[in-house]
Amino acid sequence: MGATAWGVNVLGMYSWARSFVATFPPGYFALVMASGIVSVGLSLEGFQVASRVLLALAVFAHLVFSALTAWRFVSFRAQMVADMHDPRRAFGFFTFVAGTNVIGVRLATESPVTALILLAVSAPVGILLGYAVPWVSVLGRAKRPIIAAANGTWFTWVVASQSVAVLAAAIEPRFAALQQLLAMVSVMAWSVGVILYASAAMLVVLRLMWYPVTPLQLNPPYWVSMGAMAITVVAGAKIIEMDSTPMVDSVRGLIAGLVVVFWCFATWLIPVLIAAGVWRHLVHRIPFRYDANFWSMVFPLGMYAVAGIYLGRANTLPIVEQVGHAWLWVAVVAWLFTAGSMAAKLLSTSLRREALGLAVRRVPGPLVRQPNRRATYSTS
């Protein structure tokens, strides 16, 4: 009986794992992004122990999610391709690029070689996805109008591009031989990201104006619109601090002014997004319970804090830096709440599965239907 019960548990867990991997959201790397950027913020504030704990969690989550994604590619390729063709989910693939680079930024001073390797992995993937995702999910889609499917996840494309710019700028002082190349990569990625933000914002605004929006549709990923603006500020602030090269010198003054404008716009977006949350959860009473999309809200909160700290130091703006210091604790509280909610949900799911397993093991045998009789339980 013990061996049978153990076998039932193993088969049940394997079946659940396969089901989870088959439907694994491509945007789950937002957890890595959120943990990584809060780790960066805590490191900037001198809380090294807490920062390293979050860094370890981010690295662990990245490894697990990468393994799950590889398993999904091998065993459930059709579902993965379907996600790539779905404009509501396809842009979630960019979270791999952003999550990888956020970890790299945190490691830039402690392990610059590791950070360079992460950039060497993420940049080509970002370029590939940057052409493949829009073409497959938007331009190559027969169903029209595509704009009806635009949502907050589209700004993740911007975040991915700017994360390349941030990491390239962060490691540039550590590699003198690569200074020119890293400067060019950083400025190009920043410039592309700015144009992408304008494009994504236009499409999302048109979607909100032309089509009705339900409370369920106005979900946490819309916070990425603010996070994308905030990481644009961080990337610009890092470029301002880069050593002199022809590429950096030609745009330093322009970027120094624009990042202040972008920070102001990111700040303006926060009350709008809070109002949207009130409309969703208080007015329409959508339950405020854990969803994987919550990590898409934690990342922008952390990125806004880091943007204030970086910009304040780069442009000597003490008020902006103080805002970043204070906002970091908002991000920390959001991270703790989301992580606790996720842990509670996982525990609840595990207990339900265990209870279901016990119920199954108590059944004496398979249900056998016999002609002209009631269904009975076989004891053979």
Q: Which band of pLDDT confidence, cut at 50, 70 and 90, is reported for residue 292? A: confident
Nearest to 136 by CA among 72, 79, 90, 89: 90
Say how many CA atoms lie within 13 Å of 279 toward its Cβ: 14
Q: Which of 87, 92, 191 is nearest to 147 (CA)?
A: 87
26 has pLDDT over 70: yes
Query: Could you read off the pLDDT of 323-344 as tens digits, one per residue?
Result: 999 999 999 999 999 999 999 9
Tell me the C-alpha distance between 150 and 8, whole Å. 43
Buried b or exposed e, range 150-173, using 16+ CB within 10 angstroms: bbbbbbbbbbbbbbbbbbbbbbbe
CA 274 vs. chain centroid, Å, equals: 19
Q: Which pLDDT score, from 0 to 100, does residue 345 have?
A: 87
Give the pLDDT band of residue 362 (cuts 50, 70, 90). low
Mean pLDDT of the chain: 89
Give the pLDDT of residue 375.
42
In the predicted model, is pLDDT for residue 369 greater than 70? Answer: no
- Rounded to an integer, the average pLDDT of 29-42 is 97
- For 67-121, the pLDDT digits (tens) are 999 999 999 999 999 999 999 999 999 999 999 999 999 999 999 999 999 999 9
> Helix axis angle, 318-362 relative to 2-22, nearest 10°?
140
* Residue 9 pLDDT grade (very low, low, confident, very high; cuts 50, 70, 90): low
Specify the higher pLDDT residue, 325 or 379. Answer: 325
Q: Tokens for 267?
A: 């700040």
In 3-state terms, what secondary structure has residue 241? Answer: coil
Element (H, E) at 249: helix 246-278
Of the pLDDT bands very low, low, confident and very high (cuts 50, 70, 90), residue 364 is low
Q: Are 13 and 76 in contact (CB under 8 A)?
A: no
The predicted pLDDT at position 2 comes to 53
Q: Please report which confidence band the pLDDT of residue 378 belongs to, taking 50, 70 and 90 as the band edges.
A: very low
Question: For position 265, what pLDDT does the model report?
Answer: 97
pLDDT at 370: 47
Least confident span in 42-46, 93-97, 173-177, 285-289: 285-289
Domain 28-59+84-337 in this protein, CATH class:
mainly alpha
The yes-or-no verdict on residue 358 having pLDDT over 80 is no
Residue 356 confidence class, pLDDT cut points 50, 70, 90: low
Burial class of residue 265 (count of CB atoms within 10 Å of its CB; 0-12, 13-18, 19+): middle
Compute the average pLDDT of residues 10-20.
Answer: 75
Domain ranges of the chain: 28-59+84-337
Question: How far is Cα of residue 159 from the mean position of the Cα atoms in its chain?
Answer: 9
122-149 tens-digit pLDDT? 999 999 999 999 999 887 777 777 888 8
Listed residue (82, 262, 268) closest to 158, CA to CA: 262
